[in-house]
Amino acid sequence: MLRIPCPHCGVRDEIEFRYRGDASVRRPAGEAGMEAFLAHVYERANPAGWHLEWWQHAAGCRQVLKVRRHTVTHEIGAVGLPGDDLPLPEASA
């Protein structure tokens, strides 16, 4: 069971949250071209290690959070607001 510390509500169980995917994906500029949009919509790094992702606290404050989580150990490294910059640790293994 994941326990996610919501900056607004405190530590809550994963069942209160809804996963919203990879938070490192950035929408390219309008004129960036086919390949950039292909990568944006479909291509993923899918690391076995630290991963930046969106979680919505759907059954709580309903805010969208940015979470740094390890996809092998499930450790939660950091939780922030959408605009926060959560640095990834150097070695992402």
Partner 1 sequence: MLRYSGFRLAYEALRGHRGWGPAWRKAAPKASYDVVIVGGGGHGLATAYYLAKNHGITDVAVIERGGIGLGNVGRNTTIIRSNYFSRENIRFYDFSLKLWEGLEADLNYNAMVSQRGALNLVHADGQRDLLARRANMMRLEGVDTELLDKVAVKRLVPLIDTENGRFPVLGGFLQRRGGTVRHDAVAWGYARAADARGVDIVEQCEVTGIRREGGAVAGVETTRGFVGARKVVLAVAGHSSRLAEMAGFRLPIETHVLQAFVSEGVKPLIDLVVTYGAGHFYISQSDKGGLVFGGALDGYNTYARRGSLPMVEDVLAAGVTLMPGLGRLRVLRQWGGAMDMSLDGNPIIAATPVTNLYLNGGWCYGGFKAIPAGGFTTAYLVATGAPHPLIAHFGLERFRDGRVIDERGVGPYAWAH
Does 57 engage in binding with Zn ion (CB under 5 A)?
Answer: yes
- With CB under 8 A, what is the number of residues at the site for partner 1? 25
Please state the φ and ψ torsions of residue 61, each to the nearest 5 degrees.
-75, -10
**Residue type (1 letter), 19:** Y
Kindly state the tokens that stand for 1: 């069971």
Does 22 engage in binding with partner 1 (CB under 8 A)?
Answer: yes
Which span (2-10, 22-30, 48-56, 67-75) binds Zn ion, by CB under 5 A?
2-10
Closest contact distance (angstroms) between CB of 65 and Zn ion is 7
Q: Which helix (H) or strand (E) holds 40?
A: helix 34-41
22/66 Cα distance (integer angstroms): 10
Which span (23-31, 33-41, 49-57, 84-92) binds Zn ion, by CB under 5 A?
49-57
Cβ–Cβ under 8 Å, residues 50 and 31: no
32/66 Cα distance (integer angstroms): 26
What is the per-residue binding string for Zn ion in 8-27, x denoting contact by CB under 5 A?
A: xx------------------
Q: Which residues bind partner 1 (CB under 8 A)?
A: 1-2, 13-15, 19, 21-22, 34, 38-39, 41-46, 48, 51, 53, 69, 71-74
